[in-house]
Structure 1
Amino acid sequence: MKYVRSVLSLILLLAISFACQQQNKSEPAEGSGIYLNQIGFYVGAPKIAIIKGAAAEKFTVVDLNSNKAVFEGQLGEPNQSSFGNYTTRAADFTILDRPGSYVIQATGLADSYPFEIEPNVLNEVSKASIKGFYYQRMSTDLPEIYAGKWTRAGGHPDTAVFVHPSAATSERPADFKLSAPKGWYDAGDYNKYIVNSGITMGTLLSAYEDFPAYYSKLDLNIPESNNDIPNLLDETLWNLRWMLRMQDTDGGVYHKLTTAKFEGMVMPENATNKRWVVQKSTTATLDFAAVTAQASRVFANFESQLPGLADSCLAASKKAWKWAQQNPEVLYNQDEVNKAHDPDITTGAYGDKSVGDEFIWAACELYISTGDEAYYSAINLFPDENLSLPSWGNVRLMGYYSLARFINKLPHTSFSEITPLRAQLINFADGLINGSAAWQTVMGGSEKDFVWGSSAVAANQGVALLQTYRLTNDKKYLEGALSNMDYLLGRNASGYSFVTGHGDKSPIHPHHRPSVADGIDEPVPGLLSGGPNPGQQDGCEGYPSNIPDESFVDNDCSYASNEIAINWNAPLVYLLGAMEVLYNN
C-alpha cells in the first residue's frame, strides 16, 4: 500500500506540474511597467515607450545579441493620465535606427518585453490580420496545411436556409429554402450580417485600392494562393459570394442569415440549429450596393480569372440601389419583428435608425464605378460638416474616402463641388490628432474612445489619419496613425497587445467560439480583441478597473471587452498594410 500511495503521490505531483506548465504556457507574461509596441519599430520612424509611475530619470536600450547598451536617454516630463490617478513618462529612442533585437531597462523595473527594429517589422502581423479572416470562413474545412494547429471541420454549409416569416414574399414564402453558403463568421458567434459585412468589405477593398502593389505580393498560405489573384482579394471573394446570394429577386437584401438564438460555445460542425434569412432592410441593401459597386471596379482588373464577376456585381449594385430608392425607410427593428413573427430572433440586431449615411456611401461608390452623375445628384452627398469615424452604423466617411481616392478622375462637372471634401477630411483629422498625452497616442484623447470595440476605434482613427496623409503628405498624420498602431500592439494602459498570437502579452481567452472549444491552448491568431470598455455590459468578473482605458479582461466571458469581430479586424488590416508601405518607400 505504501508503494501504491507513493506511486499515486508521484502521479499527482506530475499532474500538478503538468497543469502548471499548461497554465504557464497559455497565460501571457506579466509586464514590467514599461509599455511599448511588443512587436517592434520601423527604421526611420518614431520609437516611443511609456513608463508608468517611474522613479527613474533615465532609460537604456540594450542589444539582446551583444547584451550591451546601445542607447541611453532621459525620460520625458511627467504626464498625468486623463482617467487614472497616475503619471507617465516617455522613453523616446527615435534616433536608434540600427536593426536588431532589444529591450528597454530602467532603474527599479524589470526589462521591457523584447522588440525588433527593422524595415518590415510589422509584415508578419499584417499577414496574420488578413489570415484571421480565413479562420472565420464558413462552409468549408480548414485543412492543417493551411490552418496549422487550428485545423477544423467545416460548419454551416448554408445550402438550405429558410426564409423567416419577416422576409416572406409570394415568390419566396415563409420556410422557402434557399442556398447562401460561404461568408465569414461575423464575430465570436456563428451568424452572418450584411450590415457588418458592409463596412468590413468596404475597408478591405479600400486597402487594396490604396496599396495594390503591397497586397499583390503577399502569400498568406490559403487554398487560393496560386490563382493569380491577390490573397486579400481571394479572402474578400469568400464573403462577396455569400453577399450576392443574400439579394432577393426584387433587389432588396436580407438583413442577416442567422439562427434564432446564439449557439453555445461549440465548434462550428457541432452548431447545427436551423438557420434563417431575416427581413430585408434599407440599410443592408445600401451597404450591399456600396460593396458590390466597389467590388465591380476592383475585380474588373481580374476579368480573365473571374469572367463576368465585375459585371454581375455592378448589376446587383444598381438593382439594390433602385430597391432602396423605392423603399427608403425599411428599418430593421428586431423587437417589432419578434412581435409580429415566429420564431423570435435574438442574435445581433445591427439595427440602425438612420439611412442617410448608407445612401451617401452607396451613391459615392456607384458614381465612381459608373461615372453616372445621376447617382451624385440623387441625394445631398454633403449635408453638413459633422463627420464621424466610420462604424457599422455610420458609413458616410467610407464614401468620402473613395471620393478622395478618385478625386482627380471624377467627371469635371462635379469636380469643383467635391474638392471642398479635402478641407473637411483635414479638419476631421486635425480634431483627432490631439490624443492622449499620457500614452502619446491619438487613441484615448476622449473617454468616448473607449466603447464596445474600442480597438476598432483606434484602428479607424488610424485609417482616417492615413487618408488625410495621402491627401496632404503631412507626416503628422502618418505619425499619428503609427501611434495608434503602437497602442494596439501594447502601448496602452492595459499593457496588452490586442492582436491574438502577436506580442508577449496578448489575449489568450477571447470570446470566440472556436478558440474556446477547440482544446488548443493558444487562440486562433491574427484576431483583434475588442479592447477596453468601461460599460462592462457582459457582467464578467475580473475586470481590473472601470477606468475607461484599463477596463479590459482577458476572459472568454467578456464579450464586452474581449470578443473579436470582422469589422474590427478590417481597419487593422488597412492600418498594418499602410504602415508597411509608407515606412518602406
Structure 2
Amino acid sequence: MVKHFKTMTALVTAACTLGSTLSFAQATLVENGSFDNNSAIPWETPGWWSGGAGTSGVDDQGRFCTSVTALGTNDWGVQLRQSNIRFEQGATYKVRFRAWSSAQTSVVVGAIDETLATPVVIFDSTSEPNQLITTGLDAAEGQLISYDFVAAADTEKARFRFMMGAGIIPLNETLCLDDIVVEPPAKNILNNSEFNDDGAGWEVPGWWAGGAGTSAVDDDGRMCTTVTTAGTNDWGAQLRQVGKKLVAGRTYTVDFDAWSSADMIVVYDVIDEPAGYQILLENKDVNVTARLDEAPVHFTVEHEVQQNSNEANFRFMFGGGLVPEGETICVDNVKLLDPEGNSVIQPEEPEVAAVHLNQHGYLPNLAKVATYKVIAEDYTTARDWQLVNSENVVIASGQTTVIGEDANSGDVIHQIDFSSVTTPGTDYTLRVIEGSDPVVSHPFDIRADLYELLKYEALSYFYHNRSGIEILASVVGDEKWARPAGHLDDNVVETFICKEDPTADTCRTADVSGGWYDAGDHGKYVVNGGISAWTLLNQYERSTSLGRNASDFAQGSMALPDSETGNTMPDLLDEARWQVEWLLKMQIPAGETLAGMAYHKMHDDGWTGLGLAPHEDTKTRYIQAPTTAATLNLAAVAAQCARVYETFDADLANRCLSAAETAYQAALDHPEMYAGVPEEGDPNPERYTMTNGDGGGMYGDDEVRDEFFWALSELYITTGKQTYLQALKNSALYNRYAPDDPTPVETLPTSLYHWGNTNGLGLMSILTRSRDTELDDDLVASAKSLVLTMADNFVDYANQPGYNMPMDSTELDWGSNSGVVNNMMVLGVANDITCAQDTRYVDAMANGFAYLLGNNPLGKSYVTGYGENPLEQPHHRFWANAENADYPTPPPGVLSGGPNSSHATTGDPVSIARIAADCPAETCYVDNIGSWSTNEITINWNSPFAWVAAYLDEYSDFGLASDALCQVNDEDDQDENENDEDEDDNHQKRRGGAGVPLLIGLLLVATRFRRNR
C-alpha cells in the first residue's frame, strides 16, 4: 500500500562489547587499496599495451604513481586493476580514493567483465561528471574523489580498473593514487522488511510470561502491536525473525520507521539462543515520539558485533511494560544491514584430526605409510590404529609412531606404517582411535594394477595439448575434450624483432607449427619443451635398456589417432615425435643470420584470458630471439632423437643428428646469448637477447654450462666421438652438480635437474644407456657416483619424520611437485643400475607418489581424477570450467605444480589473497584456476609424472628389477665381449640399439651397441 507519511530521521549509534573470536574483512571489494608495505600486490600494474609506455610503482609516500612517456592509442593501454571482483546488478557501489597529479589530469575508473563472449561494462566513470585532479604531487593530502555507481550486470569475474592511456594522463605527466576503496552496498539480511502479505516471514508476538494483546499489519502496511496485558518479562511479546548469520567484527546497521500511540522506548536486540542466550547487539534508548497518524521517526543505529553466530534472532520486545497496557506501537521498513554487502566471507573452519594417505592406494610389495594429524593437546601418547577392509573387518592393527611437530607442514603428527600388509583389496580404510571416536581415512585400495591406467592417462596429457591438430573425441574419450586444431597460422610467424624493426636482418618468418602447448597458456618454449621431449624419449630408452615394460608403449598401446597407432613405430615415440618435429622447426636454417641457433620460444603478444580454446585465440603470435640455452636444448634432444628413431625412421634420425651437431657448433660460436633481462650495471648487457615476457613465460637463463654438458652427453652417447667425450671431461660440470662445486661435492642440491639446470639429464642418459652402449668407463663411473649420491639423499629425505617427500621441503618453489617426480626418476634409475637387493629406492618412490596423491598436510591429491579430494581447478585456458561453464573440466592424470612458499613475493593475486604469507611450505597451495603460482600444469611436470607411473607399474608386475634382469645383462655382457674381439675395427655404428624390435615377455634383452674407439 502507498504510504503518505513524510519521514523524520533520527540517527542513533550504539555498540556492544563482546569478545572477538575471528578476524574480519574490511568493507571493500578490492585488496590493498592503501598499497601497504610499499607493495602493489595483488593489483595488476600497467602492462603498457597499444603503444603506451612509461613507469609505475609505489613511491616513498606509499602511493601508486604512474608516469606516461608514450600515450599509446587506447585508454585501456595503461591499467591499474584487480580481477575477480563480484558485483550485483542494480546494486549501488561507492568508489573512493585519493589522487595527486603533476598537471591537471582526468581520472577514469570502472569495472568490466571480460570473461564473457561479449565483454560487459559493469560501470564506467566516463558516464559521470568529469572529475579532474588538480592537487599537486607534493600535497600532503590528496584530492578525495568519490563516485557512486549502479552495477549494470551480475558478475563474479569483473576487473575493477583505472585507465590511464591515450592521453588520460598527459604525456610526461604523473598520476598518483592511494586509499582506494570499493564499498559494496549494505545487504539487508531480514526478509519482508515492508510487511507485505500480512507480515509473512515474521513471527508475531506469542504473548508469553502473562502478556496479552494483538498484532497485525494495518491498512498503511505497518506491523502494529497493541498490548492489553503487560506480563512480567520484556521478552513476553516479541516480533522477530530467526536463523540470521552475523560475523564478528562487522558493524551492522538497524534501520526502521516507528510510530506509537504514546511516547515510549522501542527495545530490540539480536540474540543467539543456542549459544546460551548470548546478546550480539541491543538498544534501549530509542524513543518513539511520532503519533500513529503522523510521519514516522526513522532510526538508523549502528552496532559493532563481536561474536559469530549462525543462529541469531533479530527481535523487537514489547512485553513487561515496555509498551504500556492499552497502547500501540507500529514499525515498518525494518532492515538489518550487513556492511560487507555481497562479499562472501567464510568463518574459519576449525582444525580437525585427520588420517592422510595415498587416496588412490598402495602397491602390495612396497612401502605403505600414512600420517595422523593430531589435534588433541595430548600428542605424545601413541594411538591405536586399525586397517579395516570393505567388509568392516579389521585385518591389521598397531600403534602410531609419535613424531611431534613438523615444521614444514605446521602439523603435529604421528605416522602409521602398515607396509607388512600385502593382501590386495579395495576400499580399505585406516582408523585411528581418538578418545571414544575413530578418525577415519579416505578409502583406498591395495592392488598391483594401481597405476596401469594412470601411466597412460598421464601420457594423454600431451595429445590433449598438441598444437596445430584437431583433438579427436574418439581419442580423448569425450566430446567435451575434443576441439578443432589450434593456431593453424603458426606455419607463418614473424620474429619479434619485426614488430619493432621490420628492416632488421633477423626479421623473418618461419613455420613453427605443431608441438605441445607448454602449460596453462598457448605458448611453446624450447627450454621447457626440450626437457619434456627428453623425458618421453628417456622413458622409451629406459624401457628397452633397463626395464621390462617397453611392450606397454608399443604400436597400438596408447590412445592416439589411427594413423599413429597403425604405423610401425611405438606409440610413445609417436607422441614424442610431435614435439621433436617442432623443436627442429625452431632452428634457424642455413643462409640466415645466426643459422643453427634455436629460437627460445614463441607465444602470443600479450596474455590471453582464461576460458579460451586454442582455435579461439586471435592474438598475434611472435617467435622470440634465439638463445644459447635453447640451442643446446635442441642439440641434446636432437642427438637423443637420432639414436632412438634410427630403426623406425632413418630420415628423421638423420635430420636430428644433423640438427644436433649444427646446433652444438652454433652454441660454441655464440656461447653468451642469454634469455632474460640484464641486471643494472651489467658490463655486457648485449648478451641478453630476449626481453619480451608479455604473453609468455620468460624462462630466463644466463648459466649455460649445464646445457653444454647435457648436449655433449647426448652427442657422445649417439656418435661415440672422442671430441665430445674430451669436452665432457673438460667441462666445469664433470664430477660436479654445479659449475662452482668443489670436488668431491660437499653440499648437495635439492634436485638433480630441472629445465634450467640440465646437466643431470646428461648423467641420466649416460646411465640409462650404459648397459647396452659402450661408453667411457670413467664417465659412467662419475655419472653413477653423482646419481647414486643424490638418490641416497632422496631416500634420506623420504625417511625423515614428516610427510615423506623424497625432497627437502623446508622451502618449496613454483612447481615443487615437479621436483618430487624428477627426484623419483633419479630413484628409479638408481634402483636399475645398482641391481638393488632391497627396496629402499622404490619405497622412496612409493612415498613420493603417496605424497602427491594425498599423504600431505592438505589431504589433497594433486592429480586430477585420482583420490577422494583430487585436483579440480588447474590453471589452464581450455580446461577452464571453473572460470567459464562453456569449457570442460580437466581430464584425469594431470599433475598440479603444488605448494609454493614463495607465493607472497612471486605469486598471483589469488594465492596472495588466500594463502598466508608465512605459511608452512607444504601448505602454501590453493586449488583455484586463478592461482598460476601454485596450480599451473605443464608438459615438463606431467612427463616425469608419466615416467614414474610407468616405472611403479612395471615394478608392481616384476618386483625387484635386479635378479633376473641383471643376470641376463651380465650374460649378455660376456657374449658381447666375445663378439667384440671379432668385430671389424673399422666398423662404426653411430647410434645405439634402442630401436630394435622388442621381445615381449618377462625379459627384453637389448642389443649391445659397439663402436670403434
On the 8 A contact 1:180/1:246 being kept in 2, the answer is yes
The 5 Å alignment of 1:521-536 reads 522-536=889-903
Q: Which residue of 2 aligns with 1:239?
A: 579
Instruction: Say which SS state the counterpart of residue 484 (structure 1) adopts.
Output: helix
Residue type of the partner of 1:570?
S
Aligned residue type for 1:45: L
Does 2:431 match 1:105?
yes
Match of 2:604 among 259, 262, 270: 259
The offset of 1:255, in angstroms, is 0.6
Match of 2:864 among 479, 491, 500: 500
Q: Give the 3 Å change call, closer, same or farther, for CA 168–397 of structure 1 in structure 2.
A: farther
**Which one has the largest radius of gyration?**
2
- Per the alignment, residue 337 of structure 2 pairs with none
1:465 paired residue number: 827
- CA-CA distance at 1:572 after TM superposition: 0.7
1:341–1:251 distance in 2 versus 1, CA, 3 Å: closer
State the match for 1:227 in structure 2. Answer: 567
> Which of 652, 657, 669 lines up with 1:314 in the alignment?
657
Of residues 759, 766, 777 in structure 2, which corresponds to 1:403? Answer: 766
Distance 1:438 1:419, change over 3 A: closer
Cα distance change on mapping 1:81 and 1:137 into 2, 3 Å: same
* Pairing of 1:410-559 with structure 2 (within 5 A): 411=774, 414-435=776-797, 437-443=800-806, 445-448=808-811, 450-474=812-836, 475-516=839-880, 517=884, 519=886, 522-536=889-903, 537-540=907-910, 541-543=913-915, 546-559=919-932
User: Contact between 1:167 and 1:280, CA under 8 Å: does it hold in 2?
Assistant: no
Shift of residue 406 of structure 1?
A: 2.5
Query: 2:803·2:856 contact (CA, 8 Å) conserved in 1?
Result: no
1:155 aligns with 2:486: yes
Cα distance in 2 between the residues matched to 1:442 and 1:136 = 29
Deviation (angstroms), 1:365? 0.2
**Residue identity matched to 1:328:** P
Structure 1 contact 400–421 (Cα < 8 Å) conserved: yes
Shift of the alpha carbon at 1:173? 4.7
Partner of 2:203 in structure 1?
A: none
When the two structures are superposed, what TM-score results if normalisation uses the length of structure 2?
0.52
Read off the aligned partner of 2:397 and give its amino acid letter. Answer: E
Give, in whole Å, the separation in 1 of the partners of 2:815 and 2:526. Answer: 18
Contact 1:185–1:192 under 8 Å retained in 2: yes
Instruction: Name the CA distance, whole Å, in 2 between partners of 1:227 and 1:109.
Output: 56
Q: 1:322 to 1:84 in 2, by over 3 A?
A: closer
- TM-score, normalised via structure 1 length: 0.88
Q: Does 1:564 align with 2:895?
A: no
**Contact 2:527 2:699 survives alignment (8 Å):** yes
Does the CA-based 8 Å contact 1:407-1:419 persist in structure 2? no
Q: Render the CA deviation track for 1:358-417: whole Å, top value 9, x for unaligned.
A: 0000000000001111111124244453364211110001001111123355556x3235
Q: CA deviation at 1:430?
A: 2.1
Aligned length: 551
C-alpha contact 1:31 1:113 (8 A) present in aligned 2: no
Moved over 6 A (4+): 166-172, 335-344
TM superposition shift of 1:513: 0.8
Per-residue CA deviation, residues 202-251 of structure 1 (Å, 9 max, x unaligned), is 11211111124524324332212232322222111111111111111121
* 8 Å contact from structure 2 (residues 675, 690) kept in 1: no
Question: Alignment partner for residue 53 of structure 1, among 374, 395, 401?
Answer: 374
Change (3 A) 1:94 1:318: same
Contact 1:52 1:89 in 2 (8 A): yes
2: CA distance, partners of 1:499 / 1:580:
17
SS across alignment from 2:394: strand
Q: Structure 2 counterpart of 1:244, which letter?
A: L
| Further displaced range: 285-294 or 381-390 | 381-390
* Alpha-carbon distance in structure 2 between the residues aligned to 1:546 and 1:375: 47
Q: Cα distance, 1:524 vs. partner?
A: 3.1
Mapped partners of 2:410, 2:778: distance in 1: 50
Q: 1:196 aligns with which of 528, 542, 564?
A: 528
SS, match of residue 646 in structure 2:
helix
SS of residue in 2 equivalent to 1:515: coil
The one-letter amino acid of 2:769's match is F
Partner Cα distance (1:417, 1:95) in 2: 40
* In the alignment, structure 1 residue 273 sits paired with structure 2 residue 273: no
For 2:519 and 2:885, locate their aligned partners in 1 and report how far apart those are by CA, in whole Å.
16
Q: Cα–Cα, structure 1 residues 470 and 31, in superposed 2: closer, same or farther, change >3 Å? A: farther
Gaps of 5+ in 1: 6-29
Cα deviation, residue 84, structure 1: 4.1
1:377 equivalent in alignment to 2:726: yes
Residue 710 of structure 2 contacts residue 760 of structure 2 at CA under 8 Å; is this kept in 1? yes
Residue pair 1:62, 1:104 contacting (<8 A) in 2 also: yes
Higher mean alpha-carbon deviation, 554-563 vs 225-234, is at 225-234
Q: Which has the higher strand share?
A: 2
Write out per-residue CA displacement over residues 255-285 of structure 1, whole angstroms, 9 at most, x where no aligned residue: 1111222222112111121111111111000
Take 2:909 and 2:582, find their aligned partners in 1: how far apart are those partners? 34
Whether 2:486 is the aligned partner of 1:135: answer no
Please name the residue that 2:744 is paired with.
Answer: none
**Aligned-partner Cα distance in 1 for 2:688–2:662:** 30
Q: Which has the higher contact order (CA 8 A, sep 6+)?
A: 1
Distance, in Å, in 1 between the alignment partners of 2:393 and 2:669 is 70
- Measure the CA separation in 2 of the matches of 1:282 and 1:518: 42
Deviation by residue 1:126-169 (Cα, 9 ceiling, x = unmatched) = 11110111111111221211121312222112112112218999
Query: 1: CA distance between counterparts of 2:690 and 2:725?
Result: 38
User: Secondary structure of the equivalent of 1:89?
Assistant: strand
Corresponding residue for 1:392? 755
**Residue matched to 2:394:** 69
Q: 1:521 to 1:326 in 2, by over 3 A?
A: closer
Q: Secondary structure at the match of 1:494?
A: coil
Deviation at 1:504, TM superposition (A): 1.3
Q: Distance in 2 between matches of 1:549 and 1:177?
A: 45
Q: Distance in 1 between matches of 2:709 and 2:889?
A: 42
* Separation of aligned partners in 1, 2:807 and 2:762: 26
Match of 1:355 among 698, 704, 721: 704
Task: Name the structure 1 match of 2:417.
Answer: 92
Task: Give, as a single letter, the amino acid of the residue that structure 1 aligns with 2:569.
Answer: I
- Mark the CA change 1:407 to 1:84 in structure 2 (over 3 Å): closer, same or farther: closer
Mean CA deviation greater in 437-446 or 199-208: 437-446
Whole-angstrom distance in 1 between the partners of 2:570 and 2:423: 32
- Assess, with a 3 A threshold, how the Cα gap between structure 1 residues 273 and 575 changes in structure 2: closer, same or farther: same
Residues 167 and 129 of structure 1: CA distance in aligned 2, closer, same or farther (over 3 Å): farther
In the alignment, the residues of structure 1 paired with residue 674 and residue 501 of structure 2 have an alpha-carbon distance, to the nearest angstrom, of: 17
Aligned in 2, Cα 1:340/1:216: closer, same or farther, shift over 3 Å? closer
CA RMSD of aligned residues (A): 2.8
> Which residue type is aligned with residue 584 of structure 1?
D
Please tell me whether the aligned partners of residues 267 and 518 of structure 1 are also in contact (alpha carbons under 8 angstroms).
no
Q: Tell me whether 462-471 or 431-440 shows the greater mean CA deviation.
A: 431-440
Residue aligned with 1:365, SS: helix
Q: How much has 1:176 moved relative to structure 2? A: 3.0
Between structures 1 and 2, the one with greater helix share: 1
